Amino acid sequence: MVPTTTRCWVNTVSLDHVRRGVEGGFTQADHGARTRLTRLRPGDGLVFYSPRTAFHDGEPLQQFTALGVVAGAEPYQVEMAADFRPWRVAVDFLTSEPTAARPLVGRLSFVTDPGRWGLPFRRGLFEVPRSDFVTIAAAMGVRWPLLSPESAAS
């Protein structure tokens, strides 16, 4: 059962990093910074947009690549190297199908200029209206009974 989602988010992350998060049950944001992760709460919906297959030099992808529900109440820190200790939040990932972002542009209210539709994703982790989240989830084959378009209006 999917918990009632209080807020909905998009996290812009390269596909290789999304895959690590799915395997480990976590997300990071802003290159491991804690700041925006503190806004996430258990039950929040989180969808991942991957502009590239790999950070820096990956092939262009422009897909929504994973979807989950925030499970952790607080960010936690891990040591990946002596000089790199990123912050993470636990996420329960749902089975979903990656989907191209471009065909959804005209249906997403947070994209205000379709000619420059990629700009909102440069913010990294950002909140989106529930109706936009439902649209993306449906395109990814995820059924969100508690996030139906009818409840999105409330």
Full domain range(s) for residue 77: 8-145
Contacts of 5 (CB under 8 A, 6+ apart): 43, 44, 45, 69, 130, 133, 144, 146, 147
pLDDT higher than threshold 80 for residue 23: yes
User: Is the CB of residue 19 less than 8 Å from the CB of residue 27?
Assistant: no
Label residue 149 by pLDDT band (50, 70, 90). Answer: very low
Query: Quick check: is 3 in a domain?
Result: no
Query: Quick check: is 2 in a domain?
Result: no
When divided into structural domains, the chain yields a total of: 1
Q: Which residue has the tokens 């049950």?
A: 25
Tell me which of 35-49, 69-83, 106-120, 133-147 is least confident: 133-147
State both tokens at 79: 């040591």
**150, burial (CB in 10 Å: exposed 0-12, middle 13-18, buried 19+):** exposed
The CATH number given to whatever domain includes residue 120 is 3.10.590.10
Label residue 5 by pLDDT band (50, 70, 90). Answer: low
Give DSSP secondary structure letters for 73-129: SS-EE--SBTTB--EEEEEEEE----EESGGGGGG-TT---GGGTTGGGGGSEEEE-
Mean pLDDT of the chain: 90
